[in-house]
Amino acid sequence: MSDSTLGGRATVGAIVVLVTAIAAGAADWPQWGGTGSKNMAADEKHLPESFVPGAKDTASGTIETGTAKNVKWARKVCQSTYSSPVVAGGKVFLCGRHGRGGSISCLDEKTGMILWQWTGGPAAHSFGICGSPVVEGDRLYVVNQGCIVMCMDVNGQPAGPGKRKPRVLWTFDMKKAFNTEPADVHCGSCVIDGDLLYAATSNGIDPLGPRGKKMFIYNKAYKGGRIIVDDPRVYAPTAPNAPNVVVFDKTSGRLVARDDTPITKNLLKGQWSSLGVGDVAGRRLVFYGGGDGVCYAFEALKTVPVREVKLKTVWSFDCNPAEYKGDGKMPMIVRYYHGDSRWGGTHNKNDGKYKGIGEIIATPVFHKNRIYVATGRDASMGRGRGALQCIDAAKTGDATKTARLWTYQGLDWTSSTVSIADGLVYVADVAGRLHCVDAETGRPYWVHETKAKSLMGSTLVADGKVYVPTPRGLYILAAGKEKRPITHVNLGASVHSTPIAANGTLYVTSSKGWIWAVGKAK
């Protein structure tokens, strides 16, 4: 055998190894939504149709041996979590709450062993870090509960006395820089495009803050003793001139751009949507769902600016149908709060029939030159009529009248991001219903009732199954035009975050800070 033959075979072997490595990397789920399109669908196969979560050993933070089925490992990593995990480079990352602050945990993908944890940050309504991190190479980017953008080394501190401890590379305090105040909590996830990191500021109206205490007055004649104030000035945001979307040099953390939209002037309550990216007709766009109920597309920056610039808005689309806005006699912001079913004087009977404007809490999903996104509200406000919009992403300007391809109004308000697979769109609503509609036309095929109120998570479609996180646990249905429920898994707590699938494993979390790595038994 000649040396040249050996060299050729070695080259082929190296190529095979490289291709295998690339394929394995492609099966990671390194950010919210898996990719920049934010479609909650994975290409994973051989995922189980059901699993038994096992008996929890609270002392060790793991499950008791022999009590679980189709579970590779499980671990309690924080006190609570609303965040979805991400998987990259052999590691699993999950954000949550520790005490009154936040937590970021890095676990070994194969064993679930905790490699390092970050805890800290300011107190923030006991939610902790709600957004998911984005991982690229050896860096992790996330916005913590204090609206601080953090860049961290995924490997933690180098070997030595600091081993197993986190390593923060840079931070940017958006509250300090812009005087922003989120409604309840920051919830958006960042997205990377080239050398740039896009983030949402979550600027909003905080009902628990000093200004927000004026939103309700005491009156014994109404339930709970509180009635909504009809003065629109009460609902002004803390930072009316703050940006909504900002851009950083991902290497240094330098602020390089911000949006120039009217979102804050028309803000309803909060901004909890995440950003996505996609290519449309040769143009790179960044998509964002505003707290004014409008979906925006920005022109992506091609290079890192030397000086700070304003993002160019390519198009905007008002996702609230005209009939949801009333007759114009009541200020829009006041009408919005009269749709809160909790308070006296509300117009909302909490039966799903109320037609009222909502924010975009879900992440816009880019699929085949279209944007799919639905309107919604904070689930604690109750039920109301939502609207799932299909938008032509190739339009420009105010595209509300020109870009609408179809609207589905058979759902309640929702904070759920859609899943699209095999020509079907799946979306859950706050009433606990799963809807399946045609991606091309919006034609509804079926609705499944889980009877789980205040559903906040998003669906995941993978391996011919739809995974639905609810306060009553995880529901699993067959994907397709015919409704076929498969099973319901009780995890002993609510499931508020979205399941993900990576490298042949399904990852599910519970609100009490547990994470399960689910896979078929070998």
pTM, whole model, 2 decimals?
A: 0.92
d(CA 391, CA 372): 6
**Residue 57 β-bridge partners:** 62
Q: In the numeric block, which tokens belong to residue 175?
A: 């509250």
- Which pLDDT score is estimated for 140? 99
Phi, psi at 150, each rounded to 5° = -125, 135
Residue 230 has a pLDDT of: 73
CB 64 within 8 A of CB 392: no
Amino acid 343: pLDDT: 78
SS3 state of residue 277: strand
* All structural domains of the chain with their residue ranges: 31-518
DSSP state of 158: P
Residue 315 pairs in a beta bridge with 297, 397
CATH of domain 31-518: 2.130.10.10
User: Could you give the CA distance from residue 202 to residue 188 in angstroms, rounded to a whole number?
Assistant: 7
Task: Report pLDDT for 207.
Answer: 54
Record the tokens describing residue 401, joined without a space.
């009248």
- Four-point Cα dihedral 188, 194, 255, 174, nearest 10: 10
Confidence (pLDDT) at 3:
39
What spatial distance separates the first Cα and last Cα of the chain, rounded to whole Å?
40
Beta-bridge partner residues of 16:
none
Strands 86-88 and 71-76, bridge-based pairing: unpaired
Per-residue pLDDT of the chain (522 residues; tens, 9 = 90+): 443 333 444 444 444 333 433 443 349 999 999 999 999 999 999 999 999 999 999 999 999 999 999 999 999 999 999 999 999 999 999 999 998 899 999 999 999 999 999 999 887 677 899 999 999 999 999 999 999 999 999 999 886 666 678 999 999 999 999 999 888 888 999 999 999 999 999 999 865 544 444 555 444 444 555 566 777 777 778 888 999 999 999 999 999 999 999 999 899 999 999 999 999 999 999 999 999 999 999 999 999 999 999 999 999 999 999 999 988 888 888 888 888 898 777 889 999 999 999 999 999 999 999 999 999 998 889 999 999 999 999 999 999 999 999 999 999 999 999 999 999 999 999 999 999 999 999 999 999 999 999 999 999 999 999 999 999 999 999 999 999 999 999 999 999 999 999 999 999 999 999 999 999 876
**Structure-token match 């109920």, residue found:** 293
List, in order, residues 6 or more apart from 55 with CB less than 8 Å away. Answer: 63, 64, 67, 68
Q: Tell me, what's the pLDDT at 225?
A: 54
CA–CA gap between residue 97 and residue 338 (Å, rounded): 32
Q: How far is CA 496 from the centre of its chain?
A: 11
Please tell me the predicted confidence (pLDDT) of residue 231.
73
pLDDT of residue 84: 98
- Which pLDDT does position 306 carry in this prediction? 98
> Which of these, 294, 207, 194, 306, lies nearest to 245 by C-alpha position?
294
**Contact predicate 292/240, CB 8 Å:** no
Go through 416-442 and write b for each residue having 16 or more CB atoms within 10 A of its CB, e for each that does not.
bbbbbbeebbbbbbbbbbbbbbbbeeb
CA distance 433 to 222: 30
* Residue in 291, 377, 374 with CA at minimum distance from that of residue 338: 377
How much is the pLDDT for 347? Answer: 86
For residue 412, the cross-strand partners are: 385
Per-residue tokens: 338? 């009269």
Q: Which amino acid is at 286?
A: V
- Phi and psi dihedrals of 378, rounded to 5? -50, 125
Q: How far apart are CA 269 and CA 377, in angstroms?
A: 9
464 conformational bin, left if phi > 0, alpha if psi -120 to 50, beta if neither: left
Dihedral over Cα of 332, 211, 102, 81: its sign: negative
